[in-house]
């Protein structure tokens, strides 16, 4: 029996709920502290309250581009057909950073501060982001 306040051991990949929710229903989850409401990604201890208070909750899937880079060179053979591609660090509306690829936008049209949201309905195995034109 785990003492009160001490989180039981997480078996396997601590990030598994995130990937499973995306794969099953394209739901975009974050790890949230039930005490202070701080969101995290990837799975983390709350810096104030530890792991015991953390649960996976659905997030907005929106944010702004904090910074980005454009790959003009493929570092593995599997990426050769992808260049040039844009990797962005999105500052999610809930607070955490999320590293992803920006799609449906030319690399030279990307800028810091632009609003983006997760793309749904395209069968993406990884949550990719697109410009949030509705905003």
- Which of other proteins, Zn ion, none lies near 35, with the C-beta cut-off 5 to 8 A by kind? Zn ion
Between CA 7 and CA 4 the distance in angstroms is: 8
35 contacts Zn ion (rule: CB under 5 A): yes
134 contacts other proteins (rule: CB under 8 A): no
Per-residue DSSP letter, 133 = T
Can you tell me which of 10, 23, 35, 69 binds other proteins, judged by CB under 8 A?
A: 69
Cβ(28)–Cβ(58) under 8 Å?
yes
For residue 16, the surrounding DSSP H or E stretch is helix 16-25
Q: In 3-state terms, what secondary structure has residue 66?
A: strand
Between CA 88 and CA 115 the distance in angstroms is: 12
Q: Which CB sits closer to other proteins, 2 or 120?
A: 120
Query: Which positions touch other proteins (CB under 8 A)?
Result: 15, 42, 47, 66-73, 75-76, 79, 82, 85, 87, 89, 91, 95-97, 99-101, 107, 111-113, 126, 128
- Contact footprint for Zn ion (CB under 5 A): 33, 35-36, 38, 46, 48-49
């Amino acid at each position: 029996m785990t003492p009160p306040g001490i989180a039981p051991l997480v078996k396997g990949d601590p990030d598994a709920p995130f990937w499973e929710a995306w794969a099953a229903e394209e739901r975009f989850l974050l790890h949230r502290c039930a005490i202070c409401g701080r969101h995290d990604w990837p799975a983390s201890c709350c810096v104030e309250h530890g792991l015991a208070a953390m649960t996976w909750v659905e997030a907005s899937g929106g944010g702004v581009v904090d910074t980005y880079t454009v790959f003009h060179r493929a570092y593995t053979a599997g990426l050769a057909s992808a260049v040039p591609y844009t990797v962005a660090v999105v500052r999610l509306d809930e607070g955490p950073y999320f590293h992803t690829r920006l799609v449906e936008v030319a690399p030279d049209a990307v800028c810091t501060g632009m609003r983006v949201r997760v793309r749904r309905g395209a069968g993406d195995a990884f949550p990719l982001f697109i410009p949030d034109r509705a905003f």
